[in-house]
Amino acid sequence: MKKIILTLTAILAITTPALSHSKAEDTSPASGATVKIVGAIELRFDHPMRVTAIKLTGPDGELEVIRENGLDPVTEFRAKPPENMPAGAYTVDWRGLSSDGHPMRGTFEFTVAD
């Protein structure tokens, strides 16, 4: 019985932190999408995430984005890209801290068409 309790305790100690990591469940524009207009860059997470950095890179280099969310943990992050983005391939790189304090990062790409 003591061995079973110790085994279950070890399993819970290993799996509980892994379950609380936030991950991007959805992005807008969707990863791999081709769009005509980008009204916002959006990230949706399964648990609150404190997005600490976001970078938008396009055909002419890095573009400025304006955060609509502060640095508070959120499940929906939103940033405004520049208006009239030129056609081409874009990459969004983000970094953040998950609800359990672990550093997280992600990348997604989309294309703006004429």
For 78-111, what is each residue's pLDDT tens digit?
A: 999 999 999 999 999 999 999 888 999 999 999 9
Q: Is the peptide bond before 48 cis (omega within 30 degrees of 0)?
A: no
User: What's the whole-model pTM score?
Assistant: 0.79
Helix (H, G, I), strand (E, B) or coil at 3: helix
Residue 15, pLDDT score: 44
Residues in CB range of 108: below 8 A, 6 or more apart: 24, 27, 30, 31, 32, 91, 92
Contact 87, 113 (CB under 8 A): yes
Between 3 and 93, the higher pLDDT residue? 93
pLDDT tens-digit series, residues 28-78: 999 999 999 999 999 999 999 999 999 999 999 999 999 998 899 999 999
pLDDT score, position 17:
45
